[in-house]
Amino acid sequence: MTRQKDQRMVQSKFICQECGALMVLYRKRAEQRKLGHVKHMHCPSCKETRAFTEIKDWDRNVVFWEDYQEALLTEEETAELWDALWARSSESLLHG
């Protein structure tokens, strides 16, 4: 199987929902997923198959991860969760 000409590969970053381990996978640029996409894969830290959340911007992952964990504990609505978390992580990076 050959790769199509001009199909760019981009990094997709994932955070384990259990331990916070970071993973990087490559996807075709045209096949990117939305913010907060959950992918189940083997976690090298947990040594089990776990749910990983996709992060779009590597620099935002720490703030996003903390807010994400807090939102899971309070069981916020997922429809509004991602927009709110993304906005908060962007603001905290801009304003230090």
72 found inside a domain: yes
Q: 21 in a domain, yes or no?
A: yes
Asked if residue 3 is part of any domain, the answer here is no
Distance from chain centroid for Cα 93: 17
pLDDT tens by residue, 50-71? 888 887 765 555 566 666 667 7
Question: CA torsion angle for 82, 87, 89, 93 (degrees, to 10)?
Answer: 160
Range of the domain at 72: 9-95
Q: Would 19 be classed as within a structural domain?
A: yes
- Does any domain span residue 2? no
- What pTM, to 2 d.p., does this model score? 0.52
Quick check: is 43 in a domain? Answer: yes
Q: Which of 52, 4, 49, 58 is nearest to 31 (CA)?
A: 4
Assigned domain for 54 exists: yes
Q: Count of domains in the chain?
A: 1
The string of pLDDT tens digits covering residues 6-65 is 678 778 888 888 888 888 888 777 677 776 778 899 998 889 998 888 877 655 555 666
